[in-house]
Every structure is written in C-alpha cells, then in structure tokens.
Chain A
Amino acid sequence: MRASILKQGNVLIASVQGSMSDADLAQMRDELVGDVRRYRSTGVIVDVTMLDVMDSFAARTLRGIAQIIKLLGATAIIVGIQPEVAFAMVQLGLTLEGIHTALDLEEGLVVLKALGTEAHER
C-alpha cells in the first residue's frame, strides 16, 4: 500500500499505512524527497500512528528520510510512534538518534512551528 502525502502550507505530511512493504517505504522516501524540492517545503511530518510493527529496515528508512530532508534544508519529524512500538524499537537499538519526534500530528506541527520553519517562509 502506498503512503499518502499531503501538502499543508509549507509542510508535507506523509502518513505511513499499517501494511507497507519495504518497497512502499522506499517509494515514499523518494516521493517525499521529490516533493520537498518541488514545493520548497520547510517541514516534513511522517506520521507512523498506524504502524504497529517497526522493523530495522523501516527504522533505517525513517532515519534516512530525516537525514536527507535535513540536507535539503528542511526539518523532518516522526510522529505517532505507539508505546509498544517505541519500546520494541529501543530494545532493538533503533533509537532514531538525533531525529525529532513528537506525540502526534498536532504536536508535530507545534514542534515545527517552534523550530521556526513555518514562520521562516510564511
């Protein structure tokens, strides 16, 4: 299943579905990168609320997305990691070091705002 990517002002919101294959994830990454350039977005929120299992590939991909987007001059935030998923990730050593996280979409937008990316370009 493909991820849906929505544009909301300067922010792109990508929703990861519950059943995404590795290929789907990689495709989402490529689309996001393209869209950030196309729309000159300043923030990206990847919502993983629907994800009930996070394997190492998914975690690595998320990490990669955040790093690439940073290189493009925007900020990425991963939101909606569920409690069980969070603890399982930590146990597997997938701590997403140095990457912004927030509770949910709403908080993610607040964090982006606080980081000044939205105000930056209006």
Chain B
Amino acid sequence: MAGQEKAVDTNDADRFADGVEISEQELAHRKQFLELGDADVARLTGINDLARRYADEVIDDFYRHLMSFGDTRSFFSDPQVLRHVKSMQKEYFLRLTQGKYDLDYVQDRLRIGAIHERIRLPTKSYLGMYNFYLRAVAARLVEAFEKKPGEAWATFLSLLKLTFLDMGLAIDTYIASSERTIRAQQEAIQELPTPVLPFREGMLLVPIIGIIDAQRARQLTEQLLGSIRSNRAKMVVIDITGVQSVDTRVANHIVQTVEAARLMGARVILAGISPEVAQTMVTLGIDLGRILTVGDLQSGIERAEHMLGYVVARSRAGETAVG
C-alpha cells in the first residue's frame, strides 16, 4: 500500500515537471514580489512550537468546517481517507513554519496542488480552505501574543505572504493541468483519422469529421491520392457533413485535391456541404464551379454509382422486410 502511494506520488511529481516549471530564479522573483524576506522566515520559524501545539486543534476545526458543506464533504466520505488527509494536512501546516522555503518546498507544494487538482477539488474550495486556515491561525496568534499585538500582526502578515506563495503555486498546477487537457484534446482532434474507405469497386468514400486544419488537409490529400492509385478508384465521394467550418486555405486545398484526383483519372463528388460552409465559401469567393457537389451523402453515393454504371435494386426479401 505504502509502495503504491509512493508510486502515485512520484507520478504526480513527474506530471508537474512538464506542467509548472519553477526555477531558482523564478522562486526568488516570486518571493521578491510578495516581499517575503529573511525577517518573515525568522518570524515564521519562531512560531513553529506554537503551530505544533495548535496543529491538531486547528485541523479538527478545519475538517469540521469542510464536513459541514456538501460539496467538500463528498471528498472525504471515507474515514480512512479522512484520517490520512488529516495527517497530511498537519504536515502541510507545520511545514509552513519550518523555514527553508526553497525549491524542495516548491516541489512539495506543487505536488499537493496536483493531488487536489486530481481529485477535482474546486479552486473555490481550495482557496476557501486557505482562508479558513488563516483565520484560525490569526485567532491563535492573537491569543499567544496577547502582550505583543504588534508581533502577532507582523507574524500573521509573514504567514500571509507565504500562503500566497503557496496559493500561487497551487493555482499554477490547476492551470497547467487544464492546459494539458486542452493540449491533449487538440492532439486527439488532429489525430482523428480520416479514413479513405473503398465503397464499391472503383469507388472510394471519404467521410471528414471535425476540424480540418492545414496539416490534416495535407494528410487527407496524400492519403486520398495514394488510395486512388492503390484501389484503382474512378469515383470518390468526399462527405463533409461533419465539417462545421472551413477557411480559405482549407477550401482551396479541397479544390486542389479534387483537381489532382482528376489528373489521376478519378472524379470527385463533394457531398454534404452545410449551409454555413456553403455561405462561407461563397463569401470567400472560392470557386467550386468545376467540382461536382451534391446535398447529402446519399445523393453522393447514388450519383457515383450511377456514373460508374451500378444499378442498385432492392431484392424481394428487402421489399417485404422479412428477415
């Protein structure tokens, strides 16, 4: 079990390595911006004993608060998980007052941010938790420095700076993660295969779905022209029912592909141009005059079959629809 957890943790740490990259310089810059200096570090380490004394109490309050809200409660429904999280949280709080806010510290914070992101804890809850913690600690500080309210206030401000450093890192992990997701999805869209399907002898069907960018258009052309040769196709039906938009470049690319196919002795029928795409093409002044276009895929296939001399007839069994 312990081994398993370890494996997960390292995995997470790796995930950040490509997401958020904090260099020594960047850390120094962030600290500078928050005006987090040696005096703050001294003050924070000064309350380490105090923090140790109050840690359990603060954490109990903290989770009582969390458990009183439905959306946060759902994250800690398992008592075993709750116990584990509490001990982690204690460590986390204590770490705030242990000094050495270096790259290791940053890495640790990023890791924790990623864990929260992974369980999909909303940022509002995450930040809300910081807020609760700061208020709880503020009350303790006021009690502890009863005689020196100035000191309590200064220590609190130091803590505020450090927690803001933490929050910044945490938010970065959230953003990095969603950016990763967006990137992965973009790649998935780009890698959507555009199959060139032999439909009948001498006939190819190319259904295009999604976004056609320049790279995908080029790939499509290569694949289609190659398939015309290898399948000895004479008719190609390109169905663009699933294409929401085209730009000038892509439209021109389609036109060029159709012409290239003709040079290889194949005719292309373009089927399923949506009203929006049609309008765009006209507005952009793209000349599809020489291209055979039909309304939908069915018409495209029928036209292609007709041109190849196929006669499709329904059998008697089909007419009566008896299996």
Contact = CB atoms under 8 A, between A and B. Distances in A.
Interface of A: 78-79, 81-84, 86-87, 89-91, 95-96, 101-104, 107-108, 111
Given A103-B228, A107-B232, A87 B260 contact: yes
B82 to A, nearest CB: 63
Contacts of A84: 225
B261 interface: yes
B260 A103 contact: no
B243 to A, nearest CB: 20
Contacts of A102: 265
Interface of B: 221-222, 225-226, 228-229, 232-234, 256-257, 259-266
B265 A90 contact: no
The 7 closest A-B pairs by CB, nearest first: A83-B225, A102-B265, A86-B260, A86-B263, A103-B265, A90-B256, A90-B259
A81 B280 CA distance: 32
Contacts of A82: 229
Contacts of A111: 265
Nearest to A99: B263
Contact of A103 (B222, B229, B257): B229
A111 B264 CA distance: 13
B260 A89 contact: yes
Given A83-B226, A87-B221, A101 B263 contact: yes
B261 A86 contact: yes
Contacts of B226: 83
A81 to B, nearest CB: 5
Nearest to A107: B265
Nearest to A83: B225
18 contacts: A78-B263, A82-B229, A83-B226, A83-B260, A87-B222, A87-B260, A89-B260, A89-B263, A90-B256, A90-B259, A90-B260, A91-B256, A95-B259, A101-B263, A101-B264, A101-B265, A103-B266, A107-B265
Contacts of A91: 256
Most buried by B among A82, A83, A111: A83
Given A89-B260, A90-B259, A91-B256, A83 B229 contact: yes
B225 A86 contact: yes
B225 A87 contact: yes
Contacts of B265: 79, 101-103, 107-108, 111
A83 B257 CA distance: 10
Question: Which residue, of B222, B262, B266, has the highest number of chain A Cβ atoms within 10 A?
Answer: B262
Contacts of B225: 83-84, 86-87
A87 B228 CA distance: 13
A72 to B, nearest CB: 23
Given A83-B225, A87-B221, A87-B225, A95 B232 contact: no
Contacts of A103: 228-229, 232-234, 264-266
A79 B263 CA distance: 8
Given A83-B225, A83-B228, A87-B225, A101 B262 contact: yes
A83 B179 CA distance: 38
Nearest to A77: B265
Nearest to A103: B265
A91 B261 CA distance: 13
Q: Which residue among A81, A103, A104, A107 has the maximum number of chain B CB atoms within 10 Å of its CB? A: A103
A110 to B, nearest CB: 9
A68 B222 CA distance: 33
Contacts of A83: 222, 225-226, 228-229, 260, 264
